[in-house]
Amino acid sequence: MFLNSVYTLLNCIRTAKQSRRIKYELLPAGLLHQFRLVRKDVRGFTIIELLVYMGIFTILIATLTEIFFSILDARRESDATSNVEQNGRYILSRLFYDIKRSQSISTPTAPGQQSSTLQLVINGITYSYAPDGNGNLQITYNPGTGSLTDNLTGYDASISSVNFKRLGNSGGKNTIQVNFTLSSKTIRKSGVEIRNYQTSIGTR
């Protein structure tokens, strides 16, 4: 049945005065209906539709980009604050531990004096704390197997304005006033996180 309809349609096309357009009025009503069902209407996007789609896509990309950079800024803020706090706690805890168990303080030598270097004697071993000029606070000591040096600051923070001041009276309890400034190496939108530390630590 379908092949017969197609054959009839082809014959009508051949006899339509060689026209490139189909004269539907020459086709039987039933066959014309079948031809319209088979025929597909293919159309593309108009310029207006493309412009609308491009506008929606641009707004979507801009919104997602703003959200992405907001998340990055929040992450940098958190990292900068966390880096400074962690380094500050570690340095203070190490100084508290070493000063408390030290037998004597070599530098600063006398009450009222201050220095960027702190030297303690612990169990006969001299421990020296000093900045290295590259933003690190280093501890140097010799346990008998050679001089060892460790960094008290991490890679994510730098230290500056290091000062150790000896307090108290001569012959009395040794107390050291510690001052230093920590800066985060993580660059955030509002700037670098900077925090000043000051405390006093006495020997036992």
pLDDT number for residue 133: 87
State CA 90 to chain mean position distance: 22
Looking at per-residue pLDDT, the higher value among 168 and 63 belongs to 63
Q: What is the reported pLDDT for 28?
A: 54
| Tokens (6 digits) for 134 | 């590259």
Nearest of 181, 138, 143, 136 to residue 162 by alpha carbon: 181
- The predicted-structure confidence for 149-179, as pLDDT tens digits, reads as follows 999 999 899 999 999 999 977 666 789 999 9
Give residue 27's pLDDT: 45
Quick count: other Cβ atoms within 10 Å of Cβ 119? Answer: 19
Task: Pick 125 or 24 by higher pLDDT.
Answer: 125
* pTM check: above 0.85: no
Residue 184 has pLDDT above 80, yes or no: yes
- Residue-wise pLDDT for 73-118, tens only, equals 888 888 889 999 999 999 999 999 999 999 999 999 888 999 999 9
Q: CB–CB of 92/199 below 8 Å?
A: yes
- pLDDT confidence of 15, banded at 50, 70, 90? low
pLDDT category at 203 given cuts 50, 70, 90 is confident
Output the pLDDT for position 12.
52
Mean pLDDT of 145-150: 88
Interior angle at CA 119, CA 86 and CA 126, nearest 5:
105
